[in-house]
């Protein structure tokens, strides 16, 4: 094997200098011999040095420039998955350089089977869990709280994100100018990343800077995650309190940190839902981003357009409560973590709730009608980042008056302070004000305070109190929540109590169920047992109770489950649920009237999620059991085919057979999506979904050309049609061009 590796290095595919460099750092590409595992929590944090260079570097995915030989090499990656603390089976070597404009990351990923390297796709922000990759997280302030994350797969696709609160909030919508390329070689693959200092935020001071840094190497076919700074299996590469250290950066300058991004759009619109905007329309607008300070960013938008956004995926509602639709518009998604206050989803903790149940601020209430039709946004601004010891977020958006409603102003103020190193306290105020003449006394206001503590390494405490105010709405307008959780490498224990008044109504938020008191508790374990092909098993029990404001029981759910995580990344889960539902009055459930009364029933479900690293993957779920005064059988799943890294096709199905005393019905949701990436710059996608409960067919076709960094050409076709009535509800054909100018 050593002879073969040396012969591969001597093939004239790289320059002689690069071949010598690879030989010097690698020695052999034989998989490392397993050793006794280290404890990632006790292992010292590694240090690497960034070397200044005046030599040119071409970002072509091949580390053949002489400058790379000047850089320090880092290796010795330690597994996080599938077995914590062991040496990685494949060798990884990373180097860091910088000049006056860019930070450079060069990585060599040796692979004993290069023909089995997995590429999940070429699109930006590809699905990282399904691909081989090299990733770097940068804590540019050295505060062990925030990070810029960049990941590259062997096809040269880039994933970037911002992370806040030591890995608790990940903002996947963030995009920065970054130049990357990668090449598959006969010994593995190599990647080069150039990150302009104008893309990052840091303290522009004379002398040396010390940043936090960590690297992740993923080998998808082995389900291996290996880290340069070792961390436990419940953490990710952006857990900056466990990162290593980057030294050697001196006299860095950010420049003006000013970008202007204008757009031009032409569209044709028609359909029954279009009231006053049929026909051809043209528009233009712009976004401005300015770094007021190294830690504070101002975003401005005028005549905002969201036409490149995909349509919402339809959902089948089998409950008597509102559905949550996620935000997809980039303007609102960027820095979204700053504006979050509500039920918290903590990574690896089984919390029993999420922001999809309670959020004091949900940006979809801005610029969208309740039936998801767009409302014109005239202008908006956002100031976010850190000021002194505070994290702040200020948002103001003005909408136009249309037939969907009057003009409104939306104002949000958020402040949060880090305490005890990795905990925080904060406050938020939200005002929704009608600004059309004669209606200025119509408003809705919300405010809240929250505390998020991380104690004793594995304990979390999350809490908030909130209230709302609006004219002519008497009753209890308060809400409060307290959650405690413990998650170590084995045990997972948490619980919460909640109160939501019957008149609590955040006009720019989301509350699934008002007028309740709620309690939840769970106990689970994640032992790694000596079972062939199994990483861990996960037995757990949950108990959730929902009552009215007098603690009269309305809903009780007891759950027992057992999960198995396989070494290839697949997950199998069994679950049994016992329900009690009390209806005080007749309710509409799945479109059927269910009479008032007490209902006790049970159901069981089995779910399997296949490893995403194969050409055919997906998931399937089957459940059967009681459902109020009848029963329900559900079958759902997704099949994902990726015959090449250029093409992805997925099919989804949700089928529900429901038998109730008043009526039997079938609720189906069928969808298909095809995505084709000609390169990392040109993409096309088609999405079709049919919901038989409302007889609606939704179609979305999008072509995207990235003609320059963060600059796009979009061609988008969107249609919603009622099949039973043969009625065109909405159709929009849009062409849009954007161009980023950086100063």
Same domain, 497 and 626: no
490 and 576 in a single domain? The answer is: no
> Residue 46 corresponds to which tokens in the numbers above?
């590694």
| Residue 615: predicted pLDDT | 85
Question: What's the angle, vertex CA 407, arms to CA 402 and CA 409, rounded to 5?
Answer: 145
The pLDDT score that the predictor gives to residue 499 is 97
Q: N- to C-terminal Cα distance for the chain?
A: 51
The C-alpha atoms of residue 742 and residue 727 are separated, in whole angstroms, by 46
CA-CA distance, 619 to 640, in Å (whole number)? 9
Q: Is residue 291 part of a domain?
A: no
By CB atoms closer than 10 A (0-12, 13-18, 19+), residue 17 is: middle
Q: How many residues does the chain have?
A: 743
In whole angstroms, what is the distance from residue 347 CA to residue 341 CA?
16
Residues 182 and 225 in one domain: yes
Final residue before a domain boundary, out of 194, 223, 250 = 250
Q: How far is CA 75 from CA 64, 329, 426, 535, in A?
A: 19, 39, 40, 25
CA angle, residues 142, 147, 151, in degrees to nearest 5: 135
The CA-CA-CA angle for residues 175, 264, 400, to 5°, reads: 90
- Domain containing 654: what range? 526-670
Does residue 146 form part of some domain? yes
**Cα separations in angstroms, 321 against 201, 372, 421, 675:** 42, 17, 39, 33
Beta bridge partners of 669: 654, 691
* 597 in the same domain as 475: no
Token digits for 106? 């060069």
Q: Are residues 481 and 506 in the same domain?
A: yes
Yes or no: say if 144 and 156 are a contact pair by the CB < 8 Å rule: no
Report how far apart, in Å, the C-alpha atoms of 571 and of each of 73, 91, 359, 539 are.
Answer: 36, 27, 30, 13
User: Would you say residue 395 lies in a domain?
Assistant: no
What gap in Å lies between CA 170 and CA 333, rounded to an integer?
A: 11
Is residue 114 one of the residues assigned to a domain?
yes
Residue 483: the pLDDT is 96
Q: Which token pair is 736? A: 């849009």
Domain match, 544 and 607 both: yes
**pLDDT computed for residue 457 by the predictor:** 83
In a domain, 109, yes or no: yes
For 282, counting Cβ atoms within 10 Å of its Cβ (0-12 exposed, 13-18 middle, 19+ buried), the class is exposed
Instruction: Let me know whether 504 and 579 are in one domain.
Output: no
Cα–Cα distance, 214 to 45 (Å, whole number) = 10
Same domain, 71 and 154: yes
- List, in sequence order, every beta strand (DSSP E) within 12-110: 47-49, 51-52, 78-81, 92-98, 102-110
> Locate tokens 């900056």: which residue?
240
Residues 6+ apart with CB under 8 A from 325: 312, 315, 364, 372
User: What percent helix, strand, coil does the chain show, rounded to 5?
Assistant: 5, 55, 40
Q: Is 503 found in the same domain as 566?
A: no
Residue 201 located in a structural domain: yes
Return the number of other C-beta atoms located less than 10 Å from residue 687's C-beta.
19
Domain boundary among 648, 670, 692: 670
- DSSP string over 282-345: EEEEEEEEEEEETTEEEEEEEEE--TTSPPPPP----SSSPPP-----HHHHTTGGGG--BS--
What CATH number has the domain bearing residue 79? 2.60.40.1190
Distance from C-alpha of 88 to C-alpha of 32, rounded to nearest angstrom:
7
**Radius of gyration of the chain from its Cα atoms, rounded to whole angstroms:** 27
Same domain, 585 and 658: yes
Residue 28: per-residue pLDDT: 32
244 lies in the same domain as 126? yes
Our count of domains for the chain comes to 3
Residue 192 in tokens: 């080069």
**Planar angle of CA 519, 525, 530, nearest 5 degrees:** 165
pLDDT of residue 273: 60
Separation of alpha carbons 164 and 142, rounded Å: 13
Q: How far apart are CA 21 and CA 28, in angstroms?
A: 13
Angle between helices 16-26 and 2-9 (to 10 degrees): 150
Query: Is 583 part of a structural domain of the chain?
Result: yes
User: Strands 459-469 and 443-455: what pairing?
Assistant: antiparallel
Q: What is the value of pTM for the model shown?
A: 0.82
**How high is the pLDDT of residue 320?**
58
Give the separation between CA 277 and CA 494, rounded to whole angstroms: 51
Answer whether residue 170 is part of any domain.
yes
Residues of the chain with pLDDT under 50: 1-34, 275
Contact yes or no for 240/137 (Cβ under 8 A)? yes
Same domain, 665 and 571: yes
Q: Which of 670, 699, 721 corresponds to the end of one domain?
A: 670
């Amino acid at each position: 094997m050593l002879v073969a590796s040396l012969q591969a290095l001597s093939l004239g595919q790289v320059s002689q200098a690069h071949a010598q460099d690879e030989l010097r750092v690698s020695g052999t590409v034989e998989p490392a011999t397993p050793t006794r595992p280290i404890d990632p929590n006790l292992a010292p944090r590694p240090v690497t040095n960034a070397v200044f260079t005046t030599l040119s570097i071409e970002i072509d995915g091949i580390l053949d420039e002489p400058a790379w030989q000047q850089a320090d090499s880092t290796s010795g990656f330690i597994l996080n998955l599938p077995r914590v603390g062991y040496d990685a089976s494949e060798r990884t070597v990373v180097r860091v350089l910088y000049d006056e404009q860019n930070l450079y990351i060069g990585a060599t990923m040796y692979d004993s089977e290069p023909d089995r390297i997995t590429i999940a796709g070429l699109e930006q922000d590809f699905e990282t869990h399904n691909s081989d990759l090299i990733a770097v997280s940068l804590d540019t302030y050295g505060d062990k709280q925030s990070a810029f994350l960049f990941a590259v797969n062997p096809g040269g696709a880039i994933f970037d994100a911002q992370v806040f609160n030591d890995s608790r909030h990940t903002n996947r919508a963030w995009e920065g100018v970054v130049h990357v390329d990668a090449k598959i070689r006969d010994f593995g693959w190599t990647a080069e990343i150039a990150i302009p200092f104008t893309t990052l935020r840091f303290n522009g001071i004379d002398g040396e800077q010390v940043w936090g840094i960590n690297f992740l190497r993923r080998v998808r076919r082995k389900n291996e995650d290996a880290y340069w700074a070792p961390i436990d299996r419940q953490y990710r590469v952006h857990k900056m309190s466990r990162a290593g250290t980057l030294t050697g950066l001196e006299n860095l300058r950010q420049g003006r940190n000013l970008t202007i991004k204008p757009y031009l759009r032409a569209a044709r619109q028609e359909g029954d839902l279009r009231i006053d905007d049929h026909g051809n329309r043209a528009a233009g607008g712009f976004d401005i981003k300015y770094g007021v300070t190294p830690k504070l960013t101002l975003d401005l938008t005028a005549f905002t357009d969201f036409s490149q956004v995909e349509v919402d995926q339809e959902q089948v509602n089998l409950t008597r409560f509102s559905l949550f639709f996620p935000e997809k518009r980039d303007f609102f998604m960027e820095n979204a973590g700053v504006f979050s206050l509500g039920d918290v989803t903590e990574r690896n903790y089984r919390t029993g709730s999420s922001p999809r149940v309670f959020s004091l601020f949900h940006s979809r209430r801005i610029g969208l009608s309740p039936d998801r039709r767009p409302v014109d946004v005239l202008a908006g601004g956002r100031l976010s980042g850190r000021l002194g010891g505070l994290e702040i977020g200020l948002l103001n958006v003005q909408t136009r008056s249309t037939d969907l409603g009057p003009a409104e102003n939306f104002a949000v103020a958020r402040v949060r302070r880090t305490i005890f190193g990795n905990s925080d306290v904060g406050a938020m105020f939200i005002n929704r004000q009608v600004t059309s003449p004669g209606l200025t006394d119509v408003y809705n206001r919300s405010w809240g305070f929250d505390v998020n503590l991380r104690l004793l390494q594995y304990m979390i405490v999350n809490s908030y109190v909130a209230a709302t105010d609006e004219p002519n709405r008497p009753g209890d307008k308060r809400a409060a929540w307290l959650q405690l959780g413990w998650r170590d490498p084995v045990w997972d224990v948490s619980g919460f109590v909640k109160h939501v008044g019957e008149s609590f109504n955040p006009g720019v938020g989301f509350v699934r169920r008002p007028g309740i008191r709620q309690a939840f508790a769970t106990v689970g374990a994640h032992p790694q047992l000596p079972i062939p092909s199994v990483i861990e098993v996960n037995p757990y029990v949950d108990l959730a109770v929902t009552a009215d404001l007098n603690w009269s029981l309305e809903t009780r759910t007891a759950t027992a489950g057992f999960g198995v995580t396989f070494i290839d990344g697949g997950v199998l889960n069994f679950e049994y649920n016992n329900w009690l539902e009390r209806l005080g009055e007749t309710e509409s459930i799945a479109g059927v009237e269910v009479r008032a009364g007490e209902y006790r029933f049970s159901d069981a479900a089995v779910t399997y999620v296949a490893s995403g690293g194969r050409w055919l993957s997906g998931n399937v779920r089957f459940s059967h059991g009681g459902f109020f005064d009848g029963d329900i059988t559900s079958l759902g799943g997704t099949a994902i085919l990726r015959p090449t890294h250029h093409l992805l096709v997925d099919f989804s199905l949700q089928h529900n057979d429901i038998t109730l005393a008043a009526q039997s019905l079938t609720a189906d949701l069928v969808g298909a999506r095809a995505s084709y990436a000609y390169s990392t710059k040109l993409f096309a996608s088609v999405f079709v979904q049919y919901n038989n409960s409302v007889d609606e067919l939704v179609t979305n076709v999008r072509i995207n050309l990235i003609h320059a960094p963060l600059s796009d050409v979009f061609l988008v076709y969107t249609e919603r049609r009622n099949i039973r009535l043969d009625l065109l509800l909405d159709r929009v054909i849009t062409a849009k061009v954007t161009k980023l100018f950086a100063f």
